[in-house]
Amino acid sequence: MKIGVLALQGAVTEHIVSIEKAGAEGLPIKRVEQLAEVQGLIIPGGESTTIGKLMRKYGFIEAIRDFAGLGKPIFGTCAGMIVLAKRIAGGEPGHLELMDITVARNAFGRQRESFECNLEVKGINEPVRAVFIRAPLINETGPNVDVLTVYNDEIVTAREGNLLVSSFHPELTEDYRLHQYFADMVEASLAAKQ
């Protein structure tokens, strides 16, 4: 099982390390045609506007929409969550517009307000270690979105079908269980196609 990490910006290597701890093969994705080699995709953190521009420049917008349309799982962390959202608070246009959520950018404040904590994630037994860096929040969810984690009454992890998002950076800790959760999603999607 191969899981790609969109390698335009962000903690690509750290995501690959976590994927491999979860028992899958990690592959940095730099070209659209590489998407055919993977069964799941992670869109890492970074700066969502920059990621969106680079995705447009290199033809990833339609390619990733097609990837999702095939039922292949996608996991967006921090800026990756913003990139996947159908709506961005404040009326900004979305990028991929795949997941039925409204996201507020930098909802936890600036870089100096970054923090770590343990979070309960629905479907994972023990609390998960989370690193928040200029993190977004989910303001609203559509009817088919399953909220997996709430922190201080705010939604920070959610799933809709083959799409998974987190406000935080699970790849910046030794805790790879959210990557394991995603790898299990990929495995289930493969089993469903057989």
pLDDT in tens, 88-123: 998 777 899 999 999 998 766 655 568 899 999 999
Question: Which pLDDT score is estimated for 47?
Answer: 85
Name, in order, each residue with C-beta under 8 angstroms of 127's C-beta and a sequence gap of 6 or more.
118, 119, 120, 121
Question: Which pLDDT score is estimated for 145?
Answer: 98
Question: Which pLDDT score is estimated for 138?
Answer: 95
Question: Which pLDDT score is estimated for 193?
Answer: 79
Question: Which pLDDT score is estimated for 92?
Answer: 78
Question: Which pLDDT score is estimated for 72?
Answer: 97
Question: Which pLDDT score is estimated for 109?
Answer: 60
Q: Which residues of the chain have pLDDT under 70?
A: 107-113
Are the CB atoms for 97 and 81 separated by under 8 Å? no
In the set 15, 78, 95, 179, the catalytic residue is 78
pLDDT digits (tens, 9 = 90+) for 143-152: 999 999 999 8
In the set 15, 160, 171, 179, the catalytic residue is 171
Are the CB atoms for 119 and 130 separated by under 8 Å? yes
In the set 15, 95, 169, 179, the catalytic residue is 169
Q: HSE of 77 in the Cβ direction (CA atoms, 13 Å)?
A: 25
Q: HSE of 7 in the Cβ direction (CA atoms, 13 Å)?
A: 15
171 is catalytic: yes
Question: Which pLDDT score is estimated for 15?
Answer: 96
169 is catalytic: yes
Query: Can you give the C-alpha Rg of the chain in angstroms?
Result: 15
